[in-house]
Structure 1
């Protein structure tokens, strides 16, 4: 390391079936005491809080990493102490222990011919890539590196990993099947290891579900407990204690256990990290001194692993939805009625059954307020308007009965149909009421009714929850009414409607009630106060219709025959034969003129 350099960074690839990584700094010379720091970190260059060793205080300068992450790069940082002058020379040696062959440790720069029988390739790092000195050679001074035998502690062996078969059913719906499963045997002398591979992007937005069910009849009366450790990127099988805790200094996993008392155990991991997940099953017998390996009992366990969009489909108080954010697709539960949690199972703030029933009754029974407008419309011979009010009252009642978030729900049709009909009826009620107030000619009024129904249907299909779906048709109808009233006022040269009682007792109160309803709907109504604010909206909008609906139009009197005068007079009579075309009108006799 030259004087102007502070550090050197190296990396080494750790393949599968690696139980130990040994990093050491050798042949450090140039400065007394080897003033170097050795830092190692997986997946990324080391930081200040990474695993570190001061080579001045430790001789030999070695870092041992047990149970490293498989199929990942490990970064080695050799850093010089500050203020050290001159050049420092050293050699970095990395030894990877293959747990399938524990008596053999290999440096990662073995020639390709020596690594052909390994489970995975060790990468392509050369000998000089990890230091400035050549790699160690054999005792006969050959230039080819040789395997270095080491003493392996008991339990450092790794066991065969059984793969799983992937079966994709739908988005975030994947089942993992075990060969010769789903019942697996867990022998007493070794663990059973399985691997579950989660694909990037495709599997990270769901929930990883794991279920263990113990066959109690296979225990033969022994007090056996089967422990399962689910770890990411490396199986945890080195020792009995670690199989119980599923944790080491640099590794943490999820623990499951089943026994004769609790024969079922479930684990759910929302939004799991992609890559390889390893499940290690180990059967241990409970004794006075804790858990110990069993003797002759082979436990049988039913294993089920699958990926689902949401936990238990969000239950009865939630709805599972697929969401997309920045090209990332994931599933989540939308909880209702105050329920929370990953699967809408947290009832700390949930609504009670009485509150759900009260809110349903408020939203449904408030539509009874449309009965008076219907009666007024029928009495005033506004039969088409009365039909629209009845339509609105019916579908609003059953839509709100189906729209409840809790368990007090009653649906007579599909939810989407009820919602569309409720919104259409509400807008049509406002439309026909304002058009009726304009008192247009029957033909013009019918055309506007039909045109409004078609345009409102189109607007609702585009956006049902838009505020302008309500304000737009209302303002347009009010414009038509204003034009009609202005034209009638100019023609009559008198304000229309002409009576002050109509303004004072009907139009002004109805307009104020309608304005209050629109303000509540637009600015006050929220998800928290929806139950009672929307019920007030029903009462106000129906009440305003009863005030604003105009009175019955006066029927035009038809001109009847003139009254017959008394006294003398003459009446021209048409000959019956002439009217039927039987005689020529030119030769009509004078007898066709008769006196009365």
Structure 2
């Protein structure tokens, strides 16, 4: 009873296979009309906004919970109305219905039922199908049917979230007319909750024209008939535990169990990471949050949905083609820097610019979502070469501006290529992959320019035109490109902001690349005199065979 206390909280454990829980307040004494509130909640105590029952308005005062959670605690809260004096005595009873067939059961069907048969499956309670509609269907079961034999399944793990459940003596299953065929699938905690549960039902043989297989328990429903013989169901992130699959023959007119009907169906159940591997507009990815691993589709080109099948916001073909052309053709801006580098005898730098232009063009042609895609090699190779070429273009340009000794410059080029390759292998999308080498190269250039200024006692570069028309515009263009890349570029504006990035980077290279170095005025080594590098003295008479070599004279000729 409730005296000075205003509420009473207790909990009840619900065992497996419970189909219904009934909580009732009885023998309420001490006040007129039983001024109590009754609240029930699973897994946690009820809150102030939980469903409540006023016992003054209901006689008997009871709450019924259909399809409760199995193996969980249910909390029952009885609270006295505020302002009611005295002590109120009462009795709380909790009744759990066993798992035998009820007289009727409601079905949560993800699509219309129709005059068909199918399979119902469910946990306790059954999960709600995404974008599904609930249609109550009442099916009467004979009173003689009490317990259904359950056939187990064999589990075969192939990979992460890739599990096949094999039915003994299957996959073809005969559905008898007198009772349903029930199968159980056990989904393991953590291991099976992050994928998609797939079920496929196909009608092979019906030996009676009026009836087809159908499910008769609450849960998801798959329906098949003579005209639609194949049905599929996909449940993302299924609740772990025991799932029961029930096959039963129902008449197409009354939705009641038929007699003298034997149907043969093909049943297939398995777990997969994503729905249809996310199709052509998505990519299936494995994600980890804390200790939980799950799979999800990363959709592109405006597509949405569990399997990237929702095209309500999808990009049109013209938009996809336009974005691809902008990203690819914007790399043509590297042609002027290549021409400038070749004219100034910067052949190594020109080779780097050509490399960047080539791989950036074909990487973006392969990186596009949707159907406007063209790949000349593997995507990962194209991406690595594009990122490496972009960073190397910045690196070799700044090092060339420092005007170092040829040996030092070649060492820095090779060292930069190796370090940038290592950095890209660690994190290709890191902002410091661009800022780090750029700042380091600018530091080298600043030191070289400062040393040259001190040695010459004159500002370097020496002409104001070089600063006004080349260095300052090139630096501003490069800074604008870095700001766009770091703070403006997003997934929504990627195709045109990144195209502007291509134009700005290539344009800054054309301004910043230094002119051809003038030849040194210092005299080189004196040219060698023409003449014999060596002399071979041969006796002329000996060569002609006129004298004996032993007595040959000294008279000889010298040839060079």
TM-score, structure 1 normalization: 0.70
Q: Secondary structure at the match of 1:248?
A: strand
Question: Structure 1 residue 118: deviation in Å?
Answer: 33
Q: Distance in 2 between matches of 1:453 and 1:213?
A: 58
Would you say 1:119 and 2:85 are equivalent positions? no
Asked if the contact 1:571/1:595 (under 8 Å) is kept, the reply is: yes
Match of 2:128 in 1: 137
SS of alignment partner, residue 63 of structure 1: strand
Q: Which one has a bigger Cα radius of gyration? A: 1
Q: How many angstroms does 1:487 deviate by?
A: 2.5
Distance in 2 (alpha carbons) for counterparts of 1:61 and 1:526: 58
Deviation at 1:292?
A: 3.3
Q: 1:427 to 1:395 in 2, by over 3 A?
A: same
Contact 2:273/2:296 (8 A) holds in 1: yes
SS in 2 for 1:574: strand
Separation (CA, whole Å) in 2 of partners of 1:63 and 1:507: 80
| Shift in Å, 1:336 | 0.9
**Deviation by residue 1:464-501 (Cα, 9 ceiling, x = unmatched):** 22222212222222222222223323333333222333
Question: How far apart are residue 318 of structure 1 and its match?
Answer: 0.9
CA contact (8 A) 1:17 1:158 kept: no
Q: Give ranges in structure 2 of 5+ residues lacking alignment.
A: 1-8, 205-210
Contact residue 199 and residue 232 of structure 2 kept, 8 A? yes
Is the contact between residue 211 and residue 264 of structure 1 (CA under 8 Å) also seen in structure 2? Answer: yes
Contact 1:435 1:477 in 2 (8 A): yes
In 1: Cα distance, 2:555 partner to 2:530 partner: 23
| Residues 436/575 of structure 1: CA separation in 2 closer, same or farther (3 Å cut) | farther
Aligned length: 544
Decide whether the 8 Å contact of 1:520 with 1:537 is kept in 2.
Answer: yes
Name the stretch that deviates more: 22-31 or 479-488. Answer: 22-31
Return 333-342 or 19-28, whichever deviates more. 19-28
**Equivalent in 163, 168, 171 of residue 182 of structure 1:** 171
Q: 1:91–1:133: 8 Å Cα contact kept in structure 2?
A: no
- Summarize deviations over 1:380-419 as a string: whole Å, max 9, x none: 1111111111221122122212211222222233322222
Q: Are the equivalent residues in 2 in contact too, given 1:15–1:120 (CA < 8 A)?
A: no
C-alpha displacement of 1:173: 1.6
Distance verdict in 2 for CA 1:546–1:185, change over 3 Å: same
User: What does residue 257 of structure 1 align with?
Assistant: 223
5+ residue gaps, structure 1: 1-8, 95-103, 216-245
Kindly indicate whether the alpha-carbon contact (under 8 Å) linking 1:15 and 1:121 is maintained by their aligned counterparts in 2.
no
Contact 2:28 2:89 in 1 (8 A): yes
Bigger shift: residues 380-389 or 41-50: 41-50
CA contact 1:525–1:534 (8 Å) conserved in 2: yes
Deviates more, 1:111-120 or 1:318-327: 111-120
Q: d(CA) in 2 for partners of 1:377 and 1:302? A: 69
CA gap of 1:83–1:109, structure 2 versus 1, over 3 A, is farther
Question: Deviation digits for residues 56-83 of structure 1, max 9, x if unmatched?
Answer: 9988888777766555555666777878
Aligned to 1:16: 16
Cα drift, residue 136 of structure 1: 39
Question: What is the rounded CA distance, in whole Å, between the counterparts of 1:268 and 1:326 in structure 2?
Answer: 26
Provide the C-alpha distance between the structure 2 equivalents of 1:505 and 1:144, rounded to a whole number of angstroms: 75
The 5 Å alignment of 1:113-262 reads 154=143, 157-215=146-204, 253-262=219-228
Alpha-carbon separation, structure 2, partners of 1:410 and 1:328 = 36
Judged with a 3 Å threshold, the aligned counterparts in structure 2 of structure 1 residues 518 and 63 are, in CA distance, closer, same or farther, namely closer
Q: Is the 8 A contact 1:91 1:130 kept in 2?
A: no
C-alpha distance 563-578 of structure 1, shift in aligned 2 (>3 A): farther
> Kindly tell me: are residues 138 and 403 of structure 1, through their superposed partners in 2, closer, same or farther at Cα, counting changes over 3 Å?
closer
How far off is 1:190 after superposition? 2.3
Q: Which residue pairs with 1:466 in the alignment?
A: 430
8 Å contact from structure 1 (residues 17, 119) kept in 2: no
* SS in structure 2 at match of 1:537: helix
Deviation at 1:192, TM superposition (A): 2.0
Q: 1:155–1:324: structure 2 CA closer, same or farther, 3 Å change rule?
A: farther
SS at match of 1:573: strand
Question: Which deviates the most, 29-38 or 190-199?
Answer: 29-38
Which stretch of structure 1 is more off in the superposition, 41-50 or 443-452? Answer: 41-50
8 Å CA contact retained: 1:399, 1:422: yes
Kept in 2: contact 1:27–1:90 (CA 8 A): yes
**Residues 128 and 171 of structure 1: CA distance in aligned 2, closer, same or farther (over 3 Å):** closer
Distance 1:28 1:491 in 2: 104
**Is the alpha carbon distance of 1:126 and 1:58 closer, same or farther for their aligned partners in structure 2, counting shifts above 3 Å?**
farther
Query: Are 1:93 and 1:130, in contact at CA under 8 Å, matched by a contact in 2?
Result: no
DSSP 3-state at the match of 1:594: strand
Tell me how far 1:345 sits from its aligned partner.
0.7
Matched position secondary structure for 2:120: helix
Bigger mean CA deviation after superposition, 83-92 or 265-274: 83-92
Distance 1:443 1:591, change over 3 A: farther
Structure 1 residue 202: deviation in Å? 1.7
Instruction: Decide whether aligned partners of structure 1 residues 263 and 485 sit closer, same or farther in structure 2, where only a CA change above 3 A counts.
Output: same
Q: Which moved more, 1:341-350 or 1:512-521?
A: 512-521
Counterparts of 2:343 and 2:404, CA distance in 1: 19
Q: Which moved more, 1:491-500 or 1:530-539?
A: 491-500
Deviates more, 1:68-77 or 1:132-141: 132-141
Q: CA RMSD in A?
A: 11.8
Please list, as runs of the form range in 1=range in 2, the aligned pairs for 1:285-364 lying within 5 A after superposition.
285-287=251-253, 291-364=255-328
Q: Is residue 266 from structure 1 mapped to residue 255 from structure 2 by the alignment?
A: no
- 2:283–2:298: 8 Å Cα contact kept in structure 1? yes
Q: 1:252/1:498 Cα in 2 relative to 1: closer, same or farther (>3 Å)?
A: same
Q: Structure 1 531/593 Cα, relative in aligned 2: closer, same or farther at 3 Å?
A: same
Alpha-carbon distance, 1:346 to partner? 0.9
